Amino acid sequence: MLMATKMYWGIAILLLLTACGPSADPTSETPVAELPENHVQLSEAQLAQFDLLLDSAQLRKIGGSIEVNGVIDVPPQNRSLLHPPVAAYVQDLRVKVGQVVRKGQVLAILEHPEILEIQRRYLDARAQLTFLERDFARQEELARDQATAAKQLDKARADLYSAQALTASLKAQVQRLGISPAGLQASTLQSTLQLLAPYNGFITAVEAQLGQFVGADQPLIGMLNKEHLHVELDLYERDLAAVQNGQKIQFQLTNVPGKNFTGDVFLIAQTLDPDKRTINVHGHIDQEHDPMLRPGLFVTAQLLMGGASVWSLPESALIRSGAGFVAFRYLAPGLFERVTMATAGGENGFVALLQPPPAGSRWATTGAYRLEGAWQARFATDSD
């Protein structure tokens, strides 16, 4: 009987030990090979050594900013390449690159026999039109008296319409030469034409020399008007959700880094650059008349968050990785997920997040850099 009792207790103890083995431990570690690439799992010894602290993301008022690069520019209508209205020779150039000019100022004088020919053809067409108008009036009067055939009236009408079209076409060519058709007479024909400044501005290019033959499709003089200077900024798509019209801009010229200029977001483009994955932001400048500002200068800008309430994490939770940051989200005892975070600057020890984190999530703060080291070591081990 004693022997049977001892055997019974031995079997019970063996079953109990089997039931309490590693397979029943809810905190047992997942094999490293089975972990997703962006996960890291710590052993009990590592947990004790790393001394990790967890914290939740919170809404805070942070005056952060988004760093962007761009260039100073002017509206398209303020930049011109002036072509001669007809192919001609350059008789005189009256401007130099960088020179300030006023609207209507003579920039160059051109000459060519075609200039005279266009005026002559216009005068001929105008005279012919006058004759045909009178002839049509006579034919109408004769037709009312039934003194002429309808065919003659139709021909007079067709000739008149053709002459009207030709005269209008030549009149437009004369106007394009900068000559007034109303005052044009045989005694006032011009053998040269003047290329005039279309607006106040600066000369940016002179593309010809004296005596050079310039085609009508060849640019002769470049002009630029500095009115309405603005900044064109390249915003990465990850930051798009944090930018809106009216947002304040602060920027510095790359050649004068110590001076700050200000402005605001006016337009945000609707399409992305497929290669750079950026979107254009058009900003107005408060100091647009500052002589230091010139089209084409590169700028480094900050899109200011304006002290709005944004989701944030302590600085210690964010680890620099390449050009961005990562943080480690707590999943289970010893198990963390490595997450790439889009940030927008920060202050007072907290960093603004461009995207709200999952509700109720907790993140490693103190000791997060140790998790990054463990993840890199695990990744290196996997690659081996």
Domain with residue 187: its CATH number is 2.40.50.100
What's the pLDDT at 67?
A: 87
The total domain count for the chain is: 3
| Residue 313 and residue 325 in one domain | yes
What's the pLDDT at 14?
A: 32
Domain CATH for 271: 2.40.30.170
Angle subtended at Cα 360 by Cα 356 and Cα 366, rounded to the nearest 5 degrees: 85
Residue 337 lies in a domain: yes
| Residue 213 and residue 198 in one domain | yes
Domain that holds residue 368: 31-61+309-383
pTM greater than the 0.75 cutoff: no
Letter string b/e over residues 117-142, b meaning 16 or more CB atoms within 10 A of that residue's CB: ebbebbbebbebbeebeeebeebeee
Residue by residue, pLDDT tens for the chain (384 residues) are 333 333 333 333 333 333 333 333 434 455 555 788 899 999 888 888 888 899 999 888 776 678 899 999 999 889 999 999 999 999 999 999 999 999 999 999 999 999 999 999 999 999 999 999 998 998 888 888 776 677 888 898 999 999 999 999 999 999 988 888 988 888 889 889 999 999 999 999 999 999 999 999 999 999 999 889 999 999 988 888 778 898 899 999 988 877 899 999 999 999 999 998 999 999 999 999 898 999 999 999 988 876 567 888 999 999 998 878 999 999 999 999 999 998 877 777 888 888 889 989 999 998 899 999 999 887 675 555
| Residue 176 and residue 275 in one domain | no
Beta carbons within 8 Å of 246's beta carbon, 6+ residues apart: 264, 265
| Residue 134 and residue 178 in one domain | yes
Residue type for position 57: A
Is residue 47 within 8 Å of residue 334, measured between CB atoms? Answer: yes
Last residue of a domain, one of 194, 224, 254: 224
| Residue 257 and residue 296 in one domain | yes
| Residue 161 and residue 91 in one domain | yes
Please report, for residues 119, 126, 174, 181, 327, the alpha-carbon distance to residue 186 in angstroms, rounded to integers and kept in the order given. Answer: 9, 12, 14, 12, 84
Last residue of a domain, one of 280, 304, 328: 304
| Residue 230 and residue 330 in one domain | no
| Residue 170 and residue 206 in one domain | yes
| Residue 336 and residue 199 in one domain | no
Phi and psi at residue 115, in whole multiples of 5°?
-65, -45
Last residue of a domain, one of 272, 304, 336: 304
Say whether 309 sits in a helix, a strand or coil. Answer: strand
Chain position carrying tokens 């602060």: 250
Residue 296 lies in a domain: yes
Residue 17 lies in a domain: no
